[in-house]
Amino acid sequence: MFAQNKLNLIPYPQNIKLNEGNFTIPNVLLVSSELPKNETDYFKKRIASVLQSKDSKNADAQLVYSQLPKGAAGEEEFYILEVSPKQIRIQSYTRQGYFLALQTLSQLLEEYKDVKKIPALKIEDQPNFAWRGMHLDVCRHFFTVDEVKQYIDYLAMYKLNTFHWHLTDDQGWRIEIKKYPKLTQIGSKRKESMIGAYVDNTFDGKPYGPYFYTQQQIKEVVKYAQDRHITVVPEIEMPGHALAALSAYPELACTKGPFEAATKWGVFDDVFCPKDETFTFLENVLDEVIQLFPSQYIHIGGDECPKTRWKECAHCQDLIRKNNLKDEHGLQSYFIHRIEKYVNSKGRKIIGWDEILEGGLAPNAAVMSWTGVNGGIEAAKSKHFAVMTPGAYCYFDHYQGDPQSEPNAFGGFTPLDKVYSYNPVPSELNAEQAKYIMGVQANLWTEYILDFKQVQYMIFPRLMALSEVGWGTSDPENYKDFENRVITQFKVLDKMKINYAKSIYNISGKVIPANNGIDYELSTSQSSSGIRYTLDGTAPSLNSKIYQGPVPIPSSLTIKSAYFEDGQLKSAVSTQEFTISKTTGKNISLEQQPSENYSFGGAFTLVDGIIGNTRQLGKTWLGFQGKDVIATIDFGQKTVFSEVYFNTLENKGSWIHLAKSAKIFVSDDNKNFKLIKEISKEEIQNAKGKIRLNVGTQNAKYLKVNIENAGIIPPGNPGADSNAWLFVDEIGVN
C-alpha cells in the first residue's frame, strides 16, 4: 500500500482516500472514445512522453468519464478521480472539472511511470478560490505568441485558471487597435532600453520593436487559453502608464508633447487628460478589446497615476470645479467611474489596481490589491470583489534566492516558502466579508526579464506555491513536505526543458543574535551535512569546514558556503561579508515598522552586521514608505563610541529618496534622550546617502537614530504627490 505522503501532487487535492491494490500502467492506455474530445486530446499530448494512448469504443476502456447531474453554483471545477486496479474513472459536473481531473491524473502518471503502478485511490477535489491567476507584462519586454502559449500551458499544468495579460504601458503598446493604427506603428517601439540595475542608469542604445500582437494573434491566444479552461483578462492601462499611447496620439495629453515610449523603467508624469476626446479614444479602444476578449472583467490599470500634469492643466482644474470634486484624487475617481459606466454598458465589469480606490470606488468595480492587503480589505468591507496580489508575497519579479547569486531582479525578496505561506483571506475580514475575496494572483513584471528563459526562471517553482495557495490546500506548517513535492516536479520540468530556478538548493543564510554578538545560520533544502564553508574569503571545497551549526561571527570577515552531494558541487557559492560594530547583534526597536515588501529580518536587519548592496534591494535593506526610521538600540551597558554610520538610498525612478534629515540621541535610561548630532538634507545629499558622523566621545547605554523620510515626492519626479520610500541598511557605531 502506498503512503499518502508519496503522492507528489501539486496543488494537493482536498480529499484523498487510498484503497487496496494499484492500477498497472499499460504500454498503451485505452481511452474511451466518448470522452470530451478537446480536453482528452490535450491530456494525450501532455502524457505522450509517459505512455501512448488509443481511443477505444469498448465499455471496459481503461480511462472513462461520466458527467454528474447539474451541480450547484461554484462546483464547476469539482471532480472525482477514482483509480481502481482495472480502470480510471473521472466524474464532474462540467468539462472544466474533467480537465482539472486530467491534470491530476497526468501528475500521477508522471510520478509512477517508472514503477508502472498507480495506487488505487479516490480523490474528491475542487478549489477554494475562483480566481487563480498569473500575470505577464509584455510591455517592458515582449514575448512571442508561441511563448505566451507556453506560459498558458504552465498555468494549466498547475490548475491556475486566469491569465492576466498586461498589454499597454509607458514602454510599449502591444495590441493592434484597427481604429488607431498609430498605436502600434509608433507606440509599439522605443529607441532604446534601460539595462542593468536601475541605479546604473545605463542604456543599450538599440531600438526595441515594433512588437505587438495582431488581432488575429490575440484571438488565437484567447482560443488556446479557452481550450485549457483559462480566462484571459486583458489590461489596458489608464489614466497613467500612458506614454506609449501618447507618443502616437499626443493630443490626448494635458500638454502638447512631443512624447515617446519610455526607455527607462518607472512612473512618468505625462498621463491621459480626462477630456472628451480622450474618453472617445478609450471607449473606441475598449470596443475592440471587448470584441477580442470574452472575459467578464476588463482590467483598466488605474495604478501609479501622478497628478502633476492635472494640477497644472486648466481643463482638469475646471473639471474639478464643475463636478464639485475634492481634488485630483477625486478626478481620478471621476475618470474611473466614467470608464466603468461605459464598460458596464457593454455587459462587462472593470477590475483595477488598488489605486482605483482613490477618491471613491466605482459602483461595480473589483480591486486587485497589490500595494499590500489594505486595498482588498477596504474593497471587501464595502462589498466589492477583490483579488489579492500583494507585492510581498505575489511579485515574481522579486529575488527568490540570495540576491548575490541570482540574476538581476527588480528588488524585494520573495522566496518559495514566503509565497507558500500566504493566506489570501485577510484576518481582518469576517466570514461574510471574506466571500468578496475572489482569489489570488502572482504578477510578473518584466523590466529585468529579457527573454522567455528568464520568464521560466522567475515563475518556477514559485508558480507551484501559488497554485497550492489558490487551491486552498497549502499548509505552511508542513512546508518541507511541499518542498519535497516541488523537487519531485523538477523531473517533469527537466523533461520539458524548462529553465527553472534551483534557488532552494542554494545555501540560505540567516543572522541570529548570540552571546552579545551574532551567529550565521546556514541551511539548504537538502541535508545540512552537505554544506561546506570558509571564513577567509576563499571558495569552499569538499575539504572545507563541514557545517555543524550556527557559525560565530566575532569580527569583520567574509563567509563563503556551498552545498556538495556525492562529491560534486550542487549549488551556487554563497558569499556574505560582515562588518562588525558595537551595535552588531544588540537589541533594537523601531517606532514604525517597514513595508511588508521590504521587511526581511525586521528591525534586527539594521544591526546584523551586513552593509546593503545598493544594486540589490532584496534581503539587506528595510524599506519605509512615507515613514521615518526611529530606531533605539540598547547596548546592554554603557558603551564608549565616537562614530555613528548608516546608509540610505536614492533611486528616484522607484520613488526612493534620500533622507530629509537625521538626528542622533543618547540616553542612559531609555526615557531622557540628549541630542548629540544633527545632519541636514544638503549634507546627506553631499554624502550620497553614505553617512559617517563624528559624534565626539560618547558613553551611553542607549542610542536613538531618527532618520527623516523625504515625505511627499515633489513635482517633476516619478511618483510625484505620492509618499517617498526611505531605505536604510545598517546602523553602526565605532
Give the pLDDT confidence of 533-557 residue by residue, as tens digits: 999 999 999 999 999 999 999 999 9
Mean pLDDT of 241-253: 98
* pLDDT (0 to 100) of residue 613: 79
For residue 608, what is its C-alpha cell? 546584523
**What are the residue boundaries of the structural domains of the chain, listed by start?**
4-125, 131-503, 506-578, 587-733
Q: What is the reported pLDDT for 3? A: 44
Counted residue by residue, the chain has a size of 734
Is residue 630 classed as helix, strand or coil in its secondary structure? Answer: strand
- Angle at Cα 337 formed by Cα 438 and Cα 321, nearest 5°? 145
Say which residue, 566 or 157, is predicted with more confidence.
Answer: 157
CA distance 212 to 198: 25
pLDDT value for 412: 83
Beta bridge partners of 644: 693, 733
Q: DSSP of 72-140, one letter per residue?
A: PTT-TT-EEEEE-SS-EEEEESSHHHHHHHHHHHHHHHHHHTTTTEEEEEEEEE--S-SEEEEEEE-SS
List the one residue out of 496, 467, 465 whose CA is nearest residue 483.
465
Q: Hey, what's the cell of 147?
A: 511563448
What secondary structure does DSSP assign to 126-179, as a single string?
--S-SEEEEEEE-SSS---HHHHHHHHHHHHHTT--EEEEE-EETTEE-B--TT
Helix ranges, 519-659 (H): none
* Residue 498: Cβ-neighbour burial (10 angstroms; 0-12, 13-18, 19+): middle
CA 432 to chain centre: 28
Q: Taking each helix axis from N to C terminus, what angle separates 479-495 and 462-471, rounded to the nearest 10 degrees?
A: 120
Model pLDDT, residue 643: 97
| Residue 359 binned pLDDT confidence (cut-offs 50, 70, 90) | confident
Which class does domain 131-503 fall in?
A: alpha beta
Query: Phi, psi (5° rounding) for residue 206?
Result: -110, 130
Tell me if 4 sits within 8 A of 16, measured CB to CB: yes
**pLDDT of amino acid 414:** 92
Greatest alpha-carbon pair distance for the chain in Å reads 92
Separation between Cα atoms, residue 308 and residue 267, nearest integer Å: 12
> Do 334 and 305 meet the contact criterion of CB atoms below 8 Å apart?
no
Which one, of 70, 291, 300, lies nearest residue 179 by Cα?
Answer: 291
pLDDT digits (tens, 9 = 90+) for 596-655: 878 888 999 999 999 987 766 767 899 999 999 999 999 999 999 999 999 999 988 788
**Contact (CB, 8 A) for 464 and 10:** yes
- Retrieve residue 154's grid coordinates: 504552465
Q: Which CATH architecture best describes the domain 587-733? A: Sandwich (2.60)
Mean pLDDT of 324-342: 95
Residue 4 confidence (pLDDT) above 50: no
From the CB of residue 363, how many other CB atoms can be counted at a distance below 10 Å? 10
Q: Which residues contact 318 (CB under 8 A, 6 or more apart)?
A: none
Question: Rounded CA gap, 114 and 102, in Å?
Answer: 19
| Partners of 386 in beta bridges | 367, 437
Task: Give the DSSP letter of residue 573.
Answer: P
Record the cell numbers describing residue 455, joined without a space: 520568464
Cα 446 from chain centre: 11
SS3 call for 223: helix
Active site residues: 169, 241, 304
Could you give the CA distance from residue 68 to residue 651 in angstroms, rounded to a whole number? 57
What contacts 193, CB < 8 A, 6 or more positions away? 171, 203, 204, 206, 208, 263
Query: How far is Cα 160 from Cα 149, in angstroms, rounded to an integer?
Result: 14
Least reliable range by pLDDT among 5-9, 62-66, 657-661 = 5-9
* Helix %, strand %, coil % of the chain (to 5): 30, 30, 40
Pairing verdict, β 366-369 and 386-388: parallel
**Pairwise CA distance, residues 42 & 50, whole Å:** 14
For the segment 451-507, what is each residue's pLDDT rounded down to a tens digit?
999 999 999 999 999 999 999 999 999 999 999 999 999 999 999 999 999 988 888
> What is the strand order of the sheet 52-56 is part of?
15-24, 117-125, 79-83, 88-92, 63-67, 28-32, 52-56
CATH of 4-125, picked from 3.30.420.10, 3.30.379.10, 2.30.30.20, 3.40.50.720, is 3.30.379.10
Grid coordinates 545555501 are at which residue? 507
Residues 140, 143: Cα–Cα separation, whole Å: 10
Confidence check: pLDDT of 16 > 60: yes
The dihedral over CA atoms of 492, 493, 496, 499, expressed in degrees to the nearest 10, equals: -170
Residue 721 has pLDDT above 60, yes or no: yes
| Contact yes or no for 165/142 (Cβ under 8 A) | no
Average pLDDT, rounded, for the chain: 94
Neighbours of 692 (CB within 10 A): 12
Euclidean distance between CA atoms 188 and 190, whole angstroms: 7
- Taking residues 131-159, report their average pLDDT: 98
Name the residue with higher pLDDT: 299 or 527.
299
Runs of H (alpha helix) within 382-422 = 391-394, 416-420
Note the pLDDT tens digit of each residue in 86-107.
999 999 999 999 999 999 999 9
Three-state SS at 568: strand
| Helices 276-292 and 215-227, axial angle in degrees (round to 10) | 50
Q: Check residue 403 and give its pLDDT.
A: 81
pLDDT digits (tens, 9 = 90+) for 436-446: 999 999 999 99
d(CA 444, CA 155): 13
End-to-end CA gap in the chain: 64
pLDDT per residue as tens digits for the range 672-691: 999 999 999 999 999 998 99
Rg (CA), the chain: 28
Confidence check: pLDDT of 2 > 80: no
